[in-house]
Amino acid sequence: MKRKPQTAQDIARIATVYKKDSKPICFVIMSFSGNPILETYYEEAVKPIVADAGLECIRVDQEGFNGQISERIRTDIQCARLIIADLTEDRPNCYFEVGYAVAKGKPIIFQRLKAPLYESKLPFDVKDFPHIIYGTASDLRERLRKRITALLNDK
């Protein structure tokens, strides 16, 4: 059975059904490997800066829901005002989600930890997007705040 494409009205209805409040969403794409370094940067930099910007920070692995995770990811991306994509661990699913967000025309902030373990070359399809290459939580907070402010004021 072929799936019917979702309309803007379908997406708005879905968003109101499963979101607790009417805050705009910032969907975070990142590896869910449990890496304590990345988790620390997420908790100490990404979440507070997103909240300061008045957005609800959403990570699909931290949401409670029933159903298919892939469908939930697509819906979250469609409903998001902004996407943050941390490509530090080069996970194929993250690149797939980024591609979907690009196809949907979503504003995306790319970021990557600058550390010897993660210093692979950026893949061809994303290297021409601006990236925040961060080394510390304070560095990430400062640069992320500037990028979010610029993106939210641009629209």
Give the domains, in start order, of the chain with CATH numbers: 8-154 (3.40.50.450)
Instruction: Report which of 149, 33, 27, 145 is spatially closest to residue 88, judged by C-alpha positions.
Output: 33
The predicted model gives 17-34 an average pLDDT of 80
The Cα 152–Cα 155 span in angstroms is 6
pLDDT, averaged across the chain: 85
Q: Do β-strands 56-58 and 131-134 pair in parallel, antiparallel, or remain unpaired?
A: unpaired
pTM of the model: 0.83
Query: What's the sign of the alpha-carbon dihedral 32, 26, 119, 123?
Result: positive
CA dihedral 22, 51, 53, 48 (to 10 degrees): -170
Q: Which amino acid is it at 47?
A: K
Contact in structure between 121 and 149 (CB atoms under 8 Å) = no
For 81-128, write each residue's pLDDT tens digit: 999 999 999 899 999 999 999 999 999 999 999 876 666 677 777 778
The pLDDT of residue 14 is 56
